């Protein structure tokens, strides 16, 4: 099952398949597509898994083993890749909250997000080679962008699984959070990202003409929210002098 929750202007998609360690089946893909449809218009999006054992443990081998032809395998890969592309193209910031291990396709799902935060006991790895296959959901290319070509090839080529701290050190994970405060902290970070300015920052960082970047800044400058915040800062500064 895939759940869609709204917390204000923040959309949260949770993969909740405890019997399969949150692995992705064809039905899960269908539900992810519908959840993304429902999340349209949210200021930011969170991807996470239910429980504390797995974020997403990859593809559901028990169900996907029914795919026995190249055509069936290709159709499945295209389907999930299109979902990951939708996540990567989401207008607002996307945060992957790694509540548990992210392995194989789960790691690909995680890197489709803009930002990854992980509980400190989590492991992540592109270990598809242990099944004599390769990443096919866009994760290999995104891994290169995150950690560089040679390191990405070493990780995906050997299937090495990383502890959260090492994943953070090489840039695969952006922030590691103690397990005890993980649920509270990722939600706080997500709410800070669920703002119009953060969304505009994402859009500009992805590359727009200078005129569009300046126009976005100008729109924010004249907004009521900007002047309310500026007045508060100036008021505090005046009181401290």
Residue 35 confidence class, pLDDT cut points 50, 70, 90: very high
Q: Is 187 helix (H, G, I), strand (E, B) or coil?
A: helix
Q: Is 114 helix (H, G, I), strand (E, B) or coil?
A: coil
Q: What is the mean pLDDT of residues 115-127?
A: 98
How many residues are given for the chain? 241
Q: What is the mean pLDDT of residues 12-30?
A: 97
Instruction: Collect contacts of 131-134 with beta carbons under 8 A, ≥24 apart.
Output: 131/61, 131/104
Residue 53 phi/psi, 5-degree rounding, is -95, -40
Is a pLDDT exceeding 90 seen at residue 137?
yes
Is a pLDDT exceeding 70 seen at residue 213?
yes
Residue 241 confidence class, pLDDT cut points 50, 70, 90: low
User: In the predicted model, what is the mean pLDDT of the chain?
Assistant: 95
Q: Is 190 helix (H, G, I), strand (E, B) or coil?
A: helix
Residues 6 or more apart whose CB falls under 8 angstroms from that of 185 comprise: 117, 177
Is a pLDDT exceeding 80 seen at residue 238?
no
What is the Cα Rg of the chain in Å?
A: 19
Q: How far apart are CA 43 and CA 193, in angstroms?
A: 8
Residue 236 DSSP label:
H
Say if residue 151 is exposed, middle or buried (CB neighbours under 10 Å; 0-12, 13-18, 19+).
middle
Q: How far apart are CA 156 and CA 219, in angstroms?
A: 43
Is a pLDDT exceeding 80 seen at residue 239?
no
Predicted TM-score (pTM) of this structure: 0.93
Residue 228 confidence class, pLDDT cut points 50, 70, 90: confident
pLDDT digits (tens, 9 = 90+) for 163-212: 999 999 999 999 999 999 999 999 999 999 999 989 999 999 998 889 99
Query: What is the predicted pLDDT for the residue at 11?
Result: 98
Is a pLDDT exceeding 90 seen at residue 237?
no
Query: What is the predicted pLDDT for the residue at 231?
Result: 86
Among candidate residues 119, 102, 115, 114, the one with its CA nearest the CA of residue 155: 102
Query: What is the predicted pLDDT for the residue at 23?
Result: 97
Q: What is the mean pLDDT of residues 98-102?
A: 98
pLDDT digits (tens, 9 = 90+) for 59-99: 998 989 899 999 999 999 999 999 999 999 999 999 999 99
Other C-beta atoms lying within 10 Å of the C-beta of residue 93: 23
Q: What is the mean pLDDT of residues 18-47?
A: 97
């Amino acid at each position: 099952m895939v759940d869609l929750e709204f917390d204000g202007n923040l959309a949260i998609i949770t993969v909740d398949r405890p019997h399969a360690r949150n692995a992705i089946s064809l039905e899960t893909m269908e539900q992810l597509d519908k959840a993304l449809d429902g999340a349209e218009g949210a200021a930011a999006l969170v991807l996470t898994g239910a429980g504390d054992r797995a974020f997403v443990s990859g593809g559901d081998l028990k169900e996907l083993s029914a795919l026995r032809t190249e055509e069936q395998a290709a159709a499945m890969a295209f389907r999930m890749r299109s979902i990951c592309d939708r996540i990567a193209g989401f207008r607002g910031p996307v945060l992957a909250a790694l509540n548990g291990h992210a392995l194989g396709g789960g790691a690909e799902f995680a890197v489709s997000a803009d930002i990854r935060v992980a509980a400190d006991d989590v492991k992540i790895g592109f270990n598809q080679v242990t099944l004599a296959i390769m990443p096919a959901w866009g994760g290999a290319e995104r891994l290169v962008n995150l950690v560089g070509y040679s390191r990405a090839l070493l990780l995906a080529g050997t299937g090495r699984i990383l502890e959260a701290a090492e994943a953070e050190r090489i840039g695969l994970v952006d922030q590691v959070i103690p397990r005890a405060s993980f649920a509270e902290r990722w939600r706080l970070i997500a709410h800070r990202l669920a703002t119009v300015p953060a969304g505009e920052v994402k859009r500009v960082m992805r590359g727009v003409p200078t005129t569009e970047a300046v126009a976005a800044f100008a729109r924010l400058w004249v907004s009521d929210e900007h002047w309310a915040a500026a007045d508060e800062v100036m008021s505090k500064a005046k009181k401290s002098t």
